[in-house]
Homo-oligomer: A and B are copies of this chain.
Amino acid sequence: MGASGYSGEELVRLLLSHPHVELAAITSRQYAGKTLAQVFPRFAGHPRARALRFIPPETQALPKQIQIAFLALPHGVAAEFAQPLLELGCKVIDLSADFRIRDPEVYKEFYAHDHPVPELLGQSVYGLPETYREKIKTASLIASPGCYPTSILLPLLPLLRAGLIKSSGIIADSLSGVSGAGRKAELDYLFVECNESMRPYGVPKHRHLSEIEQELSLAARTPVTIQFTPHLIPVNRGILTTLYLAPEKHFTNAAEMFALTGKITACYQAAYGDEPFVRLLDGDALPDTKNVAGTNGVEIAWRLDGRTGRLIVMSALDNIVKGASGQAVQSMNILCGFPETSGLA
């Protein structure tokens, strides 16, 4: 549902070449009647893309055999489709923020209106496979997290769970490619306005803070409030996040620093050593979004700073793959019992 935005397009790309998936229907009000290949010429090499036509986004128009429905719709719109789709017996994977917040009050605070189907909030599973893999296996409604949350949560959750960093004073400084703004005809996202430009936006209270803080608080077992500054950068794809953290136990000499280094290494190794998509960089390597572009991978590196006593953690991912559509496919793989890397290698 909603296959004409950047996330929808990328989802289609992944599903078209997924070995265990048949793409049964794609919806778009704007493009209804056109084939996938007409709207996105890059898919024209796939026979399925030349045959499959967009249909209007209406539940009753969907073919009967659908088992999984992906919602790549604007925030607020996705919520309307979940209930009818669930009633049809579909599993639903929602790429919007509509079902990511557990508490309807928090939802209202950040999104400025009541949640339309609050009874579904308790039923949804936050679709971050590295954290909720077991719950995803049996979920019927998956709220797949977006790019900023994924780039912030993956590096932070293991440290908070292990009590290695203070849960207060966390700062996340993030850089996003322009596809993160969606395929919207607005002046701010014109080529000439973005090229040769670097700019912060949404300072200081970005709405994605709500889900980020929800998940951090669960990991820390205490309410967590973070500082988050997103910036718009002239690349098509990518999120680069730099986190500024205070170790729980302050180090004051080389021996303590060495000990802490060992603990952090072990913590990340335990959390992600076997994860197929998380890459812990070693040696001098630092994350670079070009290394993850077009893939479902996440690069993470960290440094202790002996001068300031801080821990700096950096992550890079592709905002429309691991930060959107790849993550949703990863959840689908888990849900369906496919190898987790199917269609994502």
Q: Point out residues on A near B: beta carbons under 8 Å.
A: 6, 17, 38, 40-42, 44-46, 171, 173, 175, 177-179, 183-187, 189-201, 203-205, 225-227, 229, 231, 233-238, 240, 242, 244, 276-277, 279, 281, 283, 285-295, 297, 299, 303-305, 307-308, 310, 312, 314, 316, 345
Contact = CB atoms under 8 A, between A and B. Distances in A.
Given A192-B178, A195-B195, A310 B227 contact: yes
A242 to B, nearest CB: 5
B291 A204 contact: no
11 contacts: A45-B279, A171-B171, A179-B192, A184-B190, A185-B187, A192-B236, A195-B236, A197-B238, A197-B290, A200-B287, A225-B307
Nearest to A173: B173
A229 B312 contact: yes
Find the residue from A186, A204, A316 having the highest chain B CB count within 10 A.
A204
B6 A227 contact: no
A285 to B, nearest CB: 6
Nearest to A283: B38
**Chain A interface helix/strand/loop/mixed:** loop
A235 B197 contact: yes
Nearest to A238: B198
Given A187-B185, A190-B189, A289 B240 contact: no
Nearest to A239: B198
Contacts of A244: 171, 173, 227, 244
Given A191-B193, A191-B234, 4 more contacts: A196-B289, A198-B233, A203-B286, A203-B314
A195 B235 CA distance: 7
A170 to B, nearest CB: 9
A240 B171 contact: no
B308 A240 contact: no
Contacts of A283: 38
A214 B234 CA distance: 33
A84 to B, nearest CB: 30
